[in-house]
Amino acid sequence: MMDFNIAEYIRFISLAIVPFMFAITVHEFSHGMSAYLLGDDTAKRAGRLTLNPIAHIDLFGLLFLIITRLFGWAKPVPVNYANLYRKTRYGPAIVAVAGPASNLALAIVSAVALRLMYNIEVQADGLAYKILVPLAGMLKLSVSINLALFIFNLIPIPPLDGGRIVTNFLPYDKAVKFAAIERYGFIIILVLFLTRAIDYILMPVMNFFMNILL
């Protein structure tokens, strides 16, 4: 039984690593690109305006994926929010929402590709079958990983994207107080995971989207 579990776990990691790396890379690239389009080149100067996953990988975030089998993160793209306000009052919110929006788009594209793949007729145990089966598994994981990142990052807790969006829409005095929660943000998120409260927050929404897409 133990060998079977280990084998399944290794199989999951081998299938999940590529869609996970692509998901977090596109997420952070979208933050950086939206900031760049709004007049802030901080991410570009830091070498983060790239689709090279090496520039974005966070070892602890990758480890979290290995442990949870669903969630993880990359290194946050540096943004000078003062530059964003030159274009629009809601520049920080636009940059924040760009990351989760990119994950929702990737989830939809992956689901469409998976549906198209199911219509391909191949001979069982043939070469095409051996290629398409793991590819289908990667696409299905891409849907779930990207949906998880989309929903998780919209939770209104700083420093998550949802927290930054809320902060941007609050009056200045309330925004300062709300942003101060960021120093405890990781602890709050960790408690949500350890108590499994995160399941009650995310899973109903995630299942809703999964049923639509798959």
The answer to whether 206 and 148 have CB atoms below 8 angstroms apart is yes
182 carries an active-site annotation: no
Q: Which of 8, 28, 121, 182 is catalytic?
A: 28
DSSP track, 18-44: HHHHHHHHHHHHHHHHHHHHTT--HHH
Structure-token pair, residue 67: 């442990």
- Among 161, 124, 150, smallest CA distance to 212 is for 150
Q: Please answer whether residues 179 and 171 qualify as being in contact, where contact means their C-beta atoms are separated by less than 8 angstroms.
A: no
Please, are residues 130 and 121 in contact by the beta-carbon 8 Å criterion? no
Query: Contact, 34 vs 17, CB < 8 A?
Result: no
- Strand partners for 57: 74
Active site residues: 28
